[in-house]
Amino acid sequence: MTPEQAGAFLTIDLKAIAENRRSLQAHLGNATECAAVLKADAYGLGAAAVAKELYRTGCRTFFTAYAFEGTVVRSVAPDAKIYLLHGEWEGAETLCLENGLIPVFGSLRQIENWEAYAKKLGKTLPAALHVDTGMSRFGLTPENVDAFCARPPEGLKFELVISHLACADDKSSPKNEAQLAAFDAACARLKEALGYDFRRSLAASDGSRLPDSRFYKDIARPGIALYDNAVRLDARVLAVFNAKAGQTVGYGATFELNEDKRLAVLSIGYADGFPRSLSNKGMVVLCGRKVPVLGRVSMDLTVVDATGIPWEELRAAQTAEIFGGKIPLKEFAALAGTIDYEILTNLGKRIYRRYISEGGEG
């Protein structure tokens, strides 16, 4: 797909992403390394391009979910540490080993598989651990930690232990302090059982913003925080026309015009990641003005109210802003009843991604 063929455009400012990481690193201080989480194709922004820019500007530790995601990062970050947050399973061992990917294990079964693979090769393999400190999502439970410490696996060298905060977006939540205490206790037990120390990572995006540096540990793992104010989505204006009072707009006739209006049709719909939940309540920016979505968002098209915008301006308008300028991404997501993570990761493949880097737009 070329820019000329596309109906919508996602502009990704790589310079802004790199600057976000630099700012986070300055906030975290010299004792903590600011890594980068690039799972889900760097939150839909293109892992290869984002990883290349972050590596160029000094990032040397990355996290993805799957091994195939890790290989994309490895292709542009030759000597970086790349951790796999989903661990590893049978059939992916060679891919991990050949690309120097380090699995983060969250279950005893995963650890047993990697231990067996190490014994088969007659090698000591790198590994990391995820311990559950109260999120009840993924990670070794307290009972799992007991079993691990009773018989530490052979042939594995654990270089990192991580956990994940459930309520870091609420600085006053007592859950944060409880998880910090649980993490520190688990790490103390693991260090004693293994007989050596390892690096620690507890804070992700929201944890990296907590004012208490005890949460930062050795490595922070920001994801969405890297992309603040670095993305903008625009869609083509396909048509502009006048409609009479009494006409209805879109499937289901959910919006009836109570007066004559001027409507504009945008080349974006729920197949592209424009949420259907924004039917009759979303906003876009057209000719510098915020205008409402009328009717249901359909698969490929969205209709907005262009009443009051002069014809000459509308004829000159090539695109409308969906988010990223006058409509911040978080505001757009909140209006859709979701979060910025979901908006970015749901953006479709029909959207053309263009990058701004030190060399300009490309």
- H or E segment to which residue 104 belongs: strand 101-105
Contact 241, 262 (CB under 8 A): yes
Q: Which two tokens stand for residue 241?
A: 């026309």
Cβ density class 79-104: b for 16+ within 10 Å, e for less: ebbbbbbbbbeeebbebbbebebbbb
* Phi-psi group of 113: left, alpha or beta (phi > 0 → left; psi -120 to 50 → alpha; rest → beta): alpha
Locate all alpha helices (DSSP H) within the chain, ordered by sequence. Answer: 14-28, 39-44, 47-56, 67-74, 93-98, 108-121, 142-150, 174-194, 205-208, 311-316, 329-335, 340-345
How many angstroms separate the Cα of 330 from the Cα of each of 169, 206, 270? 14, 14, 18
User: Which has the closest alpha carbon to 285: 250, 313, 312, 258?
Assistant: 313
- SS3 call for 82: strand
- Of 120, 171, 251, 326, which residue is the catalytic one? 251
227 is catalytic: no
User: Which has the closest alpha carbon to 113: 99, 100, 96?
Assistant: 96
What is the Cα–Cα distance from 215 to 179, expressed in whole angstroms?
Answer: 10
Contact 182, 201 (CB under 8 A): no
- Of 39, 52, 217, 261, which residue is the catalytic one? 39
39 is catalytic: yes
Among all residues, which ones are annotated catalytic?
A: 39, 251
